[in-house]
Structure 1
Amino acid sequence: MKRIVTILSIACLLATGSCKKFLELPSQSDYDSSNIFENADRVEMALLGAYTSVFNSELYYQFGMGTDECFSTEGETNSKNQVSNYVYTPATSPSSTYTAMYSGVEQVNVLIKNIPLMQPKTDSEKKKLDMLLGEALAIRAKNMLNVVRYFGDVPFPRIPVVDAGSFSSSRVSRDTIMDACVEDLQKAIALLPWKGESGLSVERISKNAAYGLLARTALYAAGYSLRWDLNSYSASSVQLSKRPDQARIKELYQIARDACKMVVDRGENSLIDYETIFRNLINGKYDNESMLQYGQKGADRNDAQIGYTNGFFSHTNSYYGKAQPAMAAFPTYYFEFEEGDSRRDVAIASYSITADSKHQMNTYASNTIGKFRVNWKAEKGIAVNKRDINWIELRYADILLMYAEAENEINQGPTAIAKDLYEQVRLRAFKNNKAKIGTTPTSYQGFRDAIIQERKLELGFEGWRRTDLIRWGILFEKLSQTKQDLLDLAGHQGKYANVDLFRAYKMTPANTFNDPLIAQEFISFKEAPEAIKKAELTAQGYTLLDMYSNQSIFFSNALTPTATWVSNIYRGLEKNKVEIVPLSTTTIDNNPGLTGQQHPLY
Structure 2
Amino acid sequence: MKKIFNITCIAAAAFLLSSCKDFLEMPSETKFDSETIFESVDRAEMVVVGAYSQTFNREFYYQLGMGTDECFSTEGETNSKNQVANYVYTTSNAPTSTYTSMYTGIEYANVAIKGLQEMNVSSDAEKRKVNMLLGEVYAIRAMNYLNVVRFFGDAPYSTEPVAESGIFTSSRVSRDTIYDGCVADLQKAVELLPWKSEGAVSTPERFTKNAAYGMLSRVALYAAGYSLRWDLNSYAPGSVTIARRSDAARVKELFKIAADAAKAVIDRGENALVPSYEAVFRDLINGRYNSESILEYGQYGADVNGSSAGYTNGIFSHTTAMFGKSQPAMAVTPTYWFDFGAGDTRRDVTICNYGIGGDNSRQMNSYTSNTIGKFRVNWASQVGTAINKRDINWPVLRYSDVLLMYAEALNEYNNGPTAEAISAFEKVRTRGYAGNAAAIGETPVDYEGFKKAIIHERKLELGFESWRRTDLARWGILYETLVETKQKLIKMAGRSAEFADIDGYRVYQKSVATSFQDPVVAIPYTGYKQISSADSTQLVKDGKVVLRMHGVSPLGSQGALTPNAALVTNLFRGLEKNKVELLPLAISIIDVNSGLQGQQHPKY
Give the TM-score taking structure 2 as reference length.
0.97
Q: For residue 189 of structure 2, what is the aligned residue in structure 1?
A: 188
Report whether the alignment pairs 1:503 with 2:532.
no
> In the alignment, does 2:593 pair up with 1:561?
no
Counterpart residue number, 2:69: 68
- Note the C-alpha offset of 1:552: 3.0
1:402 to 402, 405, 416: 405
Query: Aligned residue for 1:140?
Result: 141
Q: Does 1:213 align with 2:215?
A: yes
The CA distance in 2 between the partners of 1:551 and 1:128, in whole Å, is 55
Return the alpha-carbon distance in structure 1 between the equivalents of residues 216 and 468 of structure 2. 18
Q: 1:345 aligns with which of 333, 345, 348?
A: 348
Structure-2 residue corresponding to 1:3? 3
Within 5 Å, give how 1:45-64 maps onto structure 2: 45-64=46-65
The answer on 1:161 being equivalent to 2:162 is yes
Measured on the aligned residues, the alpha-carbon RMSD in Å equals: 1.4
1:16–1:103 CA contact under 8 A, matched in 2:
no
Structure 2 residue 156 is matched with structure 1 residue 150? no
1:260 aligns with 2:278: no
Q: How far off is 1:422 after superposition?
A: 0.6
SS at match of 1:332: helix
Cα 1:369–1:300 shift into 2, 3 Å? closer
The separation in 2 between residues aligned to 1:193 and 1:393, in whole angstroms, is: 19
SS of match in other structure, 1:321: coil
Partner of 2:371: 368
Tell me how far apart the structure 2 counterparts of residues 511 and 41 of structure 1 sit (CA, whole Å). 46
Q: For the Cα contact (< 8 Å) 1:235–1:601, is it kept in 2?
A: yes
What is the Cα deviation at residue 528 of structure 1?
2.5
Q: Which residue of 420, 424, 428 maps to 2:423?
A: 420
CA distance in 2, matches of 1:374, 1:202: 22
- C-alpha distance in 1 between matches for 2:465 and 2:22: 31
- In the TM superposition, 1:17-36 aligns within 5 A as 23-27=25-29, 30-36=31-37
SS at match of 1:559: coil
Gaps of 5+ in 1: none
Shift of 1:198: 2.5
Q: Give the conservation status (yes or no) of the 8 Å contact 2:106–2:140.
A: yes
SS at structure 2 position matched to 1:569: coil
Tell me how far apart the structure 1 counterparts of residues 20 and 557 of structure 2 sit (CA, whole Å): 36
Contact 1:226/1:580 (8 A) holds in 2:
yes
Matches within 5 A, 1:326-341: 326-341=329-344
1:296/1:389 contact within 8 Å kept: yes
Pairing partner for 2:296 from 288, 293, 296: 293
Q: Deviations over 1:148-180 (max 9, x none)?
A: 000000000110011221320000000000000
- Contact 1:72-1:327 at 8 Å conserved across structures: yes
The aligned residue for residue 573 of structure 2 is 571
d(CA) in 1 for partners of 2:226, 2:558: 38
Partner Cα distance (2:543, 2:305) in 1: 41
Which residue in 2 is equivalent to 1:458? 461
Structure 2 residue aligned with 1:538: 540
Shift of 1:264: 0.3
- After superposition, the Cα gap between the structure-2 partners of 1:301 and 1:105, relative to the gap in structure 1 and judged at 3 Å, is closer
Say whether residues 1:275 and 2:278 are aligned partners. yes
Residues 146 and 163 of structure 1: is their aligned pair in 2 closer, same or farther, counting only changes over 3 Å?
Answer: same
SS where residue 242 of structure 2 aligns? strand
Contact 1:347–1:460 (CA<8 Å) still a contact in 2?
Answer: yes
Amino acid corresponding to residue 183 of structure 1 in structure 2: A
Q: Deviations over 1:167-213 (max 9, x none)?
A: 20000000000000000000000000000102411100000000000
Which amino acid is the alignment partner of residue 410 of structure 1?
Answer: Y
Cα deviation for residue 383 of structure 1 reads 1.2
Which residue of the partner structure matches residue 435 of structure 1? Answer: 438
Q: In the TM superposition, what is the alpha-carbon distance from 1:589 to its structure 2 partner?
A: 0.5
Report the secondary structure of 1:378's partner residue.
coil
TM-score (norm: length of structure 1)? 0.98
Distance 1:367 1:18, change over 3 A: farther
Give the paired residue count: 600
Contact 1:17/1:99 (CA < 8 Å) preserved in 2?
no
CA 19–499 in structure 1, closer or farther in 2 if over 3 Å, else same: closer
For the pair 1:124 / 2:121, whether they are aligned, the reply is: no
User: SS of the counterpart of 1:392?
Assistant: strand
The share of aligned pairs that are identical, in percent, is 57
Shift of 1:535: 3.0
1:325 aligned partner: 328
CA contact (8 A) 2:307 2:390 kept: no
- Write the letter of the residue equivalent to 2:159: R
- Helix, strand or coil at the partner of 2:507: strand
Counterparts of 2:194 and 2:35 in 1: how far apart (Å)? 27
In structure 2, runs of 5+ residues without a counterpart are: none
Structure 1 residues 282 and 297: CA distance shift in structure 2, 3 A = closer
User: What is the alpha-carbon distance in structure 1 between the residues aligned to residue 255 and residue 119 of structure 2?
Assistant: 36
Letter in structure 1 aligned against 2:18: T
The answer to whether the 8 A contact 1:318-1:356 is kept is: yes
CA contact (8 A) 1:15 1:103 kept: no
Instruction: State how far apart, in whole Å, the 2-side matches of 1:299 and 1:161 are.
Output: 28
How far residue 434 of structure 1 moved from its aligned partner, in angstroms, is: 1.6
Does the 8 Å CA contact 1:502/1:527 hold for their aligned counterparts?
yes
Tell me, yes or no, if the aligned pair for 2:228 and 2:578 is still in contact at 8 Å.
yes
Deviations 1:523-554 (A, max 9, x none): 111113341x2233123211000001123311
